[in-house]
Amino acid sequence: MPLPLTSEAAQNLDFVLIRESTEGLFASRETFKIEGEGESAAAYDTQKISYQGCKRVFDFAFNLAKQRKAQGHQGKVTCVDKANVLGSFYFMRQVFDETAKNHSEIEAQHIYVDAAALQLVAKPWQFDVLVTENMFGDILSDLGAGLMGGMGMAPSADIGFEKAVFQPCHGTAPDIIGQGKANPTAMFLSAAMMLNWLGHQHNNQHLIKASDLINQAVENAYASKELLPYELGGNSGTQVISDKVFSELAKL
Ligand SMILES: NC(=O)c1ccc[n+]([C@@H]2O[C@H](COP(=O)([O-])OP(=O)(O)OC[C@H]3O[C@@H](n4cnc5c(N)ncnc54)[C@H](O)[C@@H]3O)[C@@H](O)[C@H]2O)c1
Ligand SMILES: CC(C)[C@H](C(=O)O)[C@@H](O)C(=O)O
């Protein structure tokens, strides 16, 4: 893939960002309030960080790090918080430390979100699995997408205990609507993640194989050096990138 970071280490960039997506600051969408009027008015959004919400997302992060370690990755989980300022994040950090004790074969570390923003740009290859609150995850996942080449490159998944939704990280891209410039790669990679997840859920090797084939076709399409998406300064649009990925898929 063509990457914005030119350092040689960046060529081996491979981390997963896990975002708790049911609570955090976003939970306030249900309870938002404005008190007072005129110049004395103040708006309040309240962050919710629950023990159960933390526990399930941290267990998921450590289990993922374990699977990745078996595939040769670092075996490390980094909790991104702001525990030096907000009590809710101090609480979250305590649950992280408690959970880490049950996964002693995995290295556990913390980083404040502002430091994480710097480190994700300066040395992102130091990370393996990052786990964080909803709002921080919303912001850092776009940063992560930028590191891997842009919004059109980044797949994502919302994974529950039994059900999951897969979609690219990006939104509706209103600034490029109708121009044929949208990069479909994130959509293909999200579909591959979906097949992989379904394959593991249902113990179906065909689905896992189909997922591997899509990933390989995308990799081969970019390895050909024929593609440079608009978001990276090139002129490969939706049709060109799709055609190339389909033709690589047909060869596998
Ligand atoms: N997953 C989601 O449901 C999701 C995620 C983000 C934004 N949104 C919604 O989408 C709308 C637009 O939000 P936004 O503009 O902040 O974010 P966006 O992700 O739609 O766009 C951000 C930037 O990335 C570019 N981009 C996005 N997808 C691209 C692609 N496939 N190929 C090339 N470039 C791409 C856009 O052109 C834009 O410059 C809003 O209504 C927002 O709420 C939804
Ligand atoms: C549209 C918005 C609610 C959405 C989110 O934060 O979940 C988006 O920003 C995203 O990153 O998927």
Segment 33-60, tens digit of pLDDT: 999 999 999 999 999 999 999 999 999 9
The pLDDT tens digits for 208-244 are 999 999 999 999 999 999 999 999 989 999 999 999 9
Work out the average pLDDT over 64-90: 97
Same domain, 115 and 16: yes
| Amino acid at position 9, single letter | A
33 belongs to a structural domain: no
Q: Is 233 in the pocket of ligand 1 (CB under 6 A)?
A: no
Residues 239, 195, 161: CA angle, nearest 5 degrees:
130
Report the domain count for the chain. 2
Work out the average pLDDT over 80-102: 98
Residue 114 alpha carbon to ligand 2 centre in Å:
20
- The bound ligand whose nearest atom lies closest to the alpha carbon of 25 is 2
Work out the average pLDDT over 196-219: 97
Same domain, 178 and 219: yes
Tell me how far apart the alpha carbons of residues 196 and 42 are, in angstroms, rounded to a whole number.
47
Same domain, 50 and 126: yes
Work out the average pLDDT over 125-133: 97
Residue 8 pLDDT:
86
36 belongs to a structural domain: no
Average pLDDT, the chain: 95
Same domain, 135 and 183: no
Residue 4 pLDDT:
82
Please name the residue whose Cα sits nearest to atom 8 of ligand 1: 171
In the block, tokens 């960080």 appear at: 49
Q: Is 172 in the pocket of ligand 1 (CB under 6 A)?
A: yes
Query: Contact at 8 Å (CB) between 148 and 120?
Result: no
Q: Is the pLDDT of residue 1 over 70?
A: no
Q: Is the pLDDT of residue 2 over 80?
A: no
Q: Is 39 in the pocket of ligand 1 (CB under 6 A)?
A: no
Q: Is the pLDDT of residue 175 over 80?
A: yes
Confidence of residue 12 (pLDDT cuts 50, 70, 90): confident
User: CB neighbours (10 Å) of residue 82?
Assistant: 18
Domain that holds residue 180: 150-252
Same domain, 129 and 55: yes
